[in-house]
Amino acid sequence: MGGTSEKMINVTVKVWRQRNKNEKGTFETHDMKGVSTDMSFLEMFDVLNERLINEGKDPVAFDHDCREGICGMCSMYINGRPHGPKNAVTTCQLHMRSFSDGDTIVVEPWRSSAFPVVKDLVVERAAFDRIIAAGGFVSVNTGNAKDANNILIPKPEADEAFNAAACIGCGACVAACKNGSAMLFVSAKVSQLALLPQGKVEAQKRVLDMVHQMDIEGFGNCTNTGACEAECPKGISLENIARMNREYVFASANEKK
Amino acid sequence: MSNSGFLKSSIGKKVIMGATGLFLITFLVVHCFINMLIFFNDGGETFNKGAEFMGTNWLIRATEIILFVGLILHVVQALVLTLENRKARPVPYAKVNGAANSSWYSRSMGLLGTLILMFLIIHLRHFWVESRFTDHIAHNEYEKLAGQETMYREMLEVFENPIVVLVYVLAMISLAYHLLHGFQSVFQTLGLNHRKYTPLIKKAGIVFSIVISVLFASMPIAMHFGFVK
């Protein structure tokens, strides 16, 4: 790693500090000198935290797990955009080479009433779990594993469902949306199952229950700005929201109650 | 969930926004076609006939009531949604880079809509109130012979004032941007998103937004500068 393209830059990090859910937070400014452009954004935070620990101060709390762009934990709103200035990457896949010497970088947690701040940059995304629990599954009889390809699925459908299933539930769509809407997430989860024969059986109940739970959680309403799609690190398409709208309208009309 | 559940759901609410929006778009088309009769430049003879028909035909008058219901629904629903959306983000971001992910007009539908509503109040006062609730404008040949104003002459009078013309033109710019987002948004809301047709819908939306706004704006301009007499 490294090579000839590596540079050392100085940046100023303005980071949100908040002790807990109930206390009011504030910005804290740190000068970061000699940051390698080969560092990932989270590694830059690791360096900052080592320094804070050495100084006997409280390190900045932030969520991270896989650091390879697939777990969806690293929720940082960087310079006015979820996951920072690059498209189709998570914060852990963002590198300091995307910034210039002398930059001031503002880092905030996701802002949504449905994602309360736990500490600093850590938000609780249990609302997403509750939406999944409301219907984001296929009911099956457990027992012996079924043969693969028991049900034949055409490649285009399989691809479409897979694209929807690429959602890692990071919440960038909610963070990016000016209305704090979770429709891109919910629509991806509705679509990945609705597109497949196994999921079609419960499709109507699923969309009703998941949208109902989404509304209970206090997410905002979609106004089709497309900000979610543009900021999604996994490129989840707005087509999924249209599919969910469609499914929801038909499911509501079909309801027997 | 029952049917009332649908209307209270986030998707139900946006379907109402989209459906009423689409209905208002069809109104714009009708309104624009009738108004374009002024371009016959025949002293308003053809236009007045059109205006009289719109003012007296019972079917049109009944549709007018539905139109107002649609408009009120669109406005009230927008207010409800805006308030809900504010609640969804109680602590705002310190720094937002909206331009990186969406168009300014898609994020400013509320503001653009408010501007259009303000214009609408002025516009209704200028023409609708005059024709429906005063004896100022003639409704038939007899009243015309008795020397009452026609809708056409009313337009000429109103558009003598350059400030009025400016207000109308600015309002049509707001309308153009409102439609730029609104037109294609309706299809997405109603679940009509298709890789083959959506690009066409988006292009049609751009053409429609610009053409209809330019046509509307050209009317006060043409009358003010005497292109139409």
Residue B229 lies in a domain: no
Instruction: Print pLDDT tens along chain A (257 aa).
Output: 545 689 999 999 999 999 999 999 999 999 999 999 999 999 999 999 999 999 999 999 999 999 999 999 999 999 999 999 999 999 999 999 999 999 999 999 999 999 999 999 999 999 999 999 999 999 987 888 888 888 899 999 999 999 999 999 999 999 999 999 999 999 999 999 999 999 999 999 999 999 999 999 999 999 999 999 999 999 999 999 999 999 999 999 998 76
| Cα dist from B140 to B31, B48, B55, B150, B187, whole Å | 20, 10, 10, 10, 41
Residue B43 lies in a domain: yes
Q: Show residues of chain B in contact with A14, CB under 8 Å.
A: 94
Residue B68 lies in a domain: yes
Say if CB A111 and CB B89 are below 8 A apart.
yes
Q: Distance between CA atoms of A133 and A111, rounded to whole angstroms?
A: 23
Q: How confident is the model at residue B1 (pLDDT cuts 50, 70, 90)?
A: very low
Residue B171 lies in a domain: yes
Chain A: closest CA distance from residue B27 (Å):
22
Residue B128 lies in a domain: yes
Q: Which domains are delineated in chain A?
A: 8-117 (3.10.20.30), 125-254 (1.10.1060.10)
pLDDT number for residue B145? 65
Record the pTM. Answer: 0.94
Q: Which residues of A165-182 are buried (b: 16+ CB within 10 A; e: fewer)?
A: bebbbbbbbbbbbbbbbb
pLDDT, mean over chain B: 93
Give the range of the structural domain holding residue B49, as residue numbers without chain letter.
3-90+101-224
Q: Show residues of chain B in contact with A108, CB under 8 Å.
A: 93-95
Report how many domains make up chain B. 1
- Comparing CB atoms, the residue among A180, A219, A221 nearest residue B13 is A221
Residue to test with chain B: of A22, A117, A243, A252, most B Cβ within 10 A: A252
Domain CATH code at residue B148: 1.20.1300.10
Kindly identify which residue of chain B lies nearest to residue A78, measuring between CA atoms. Answer: B95
Residue B69 lies in a domain: yes
Residue B30 lies in a domain: yes
Residue B61 lies in a domain: yes
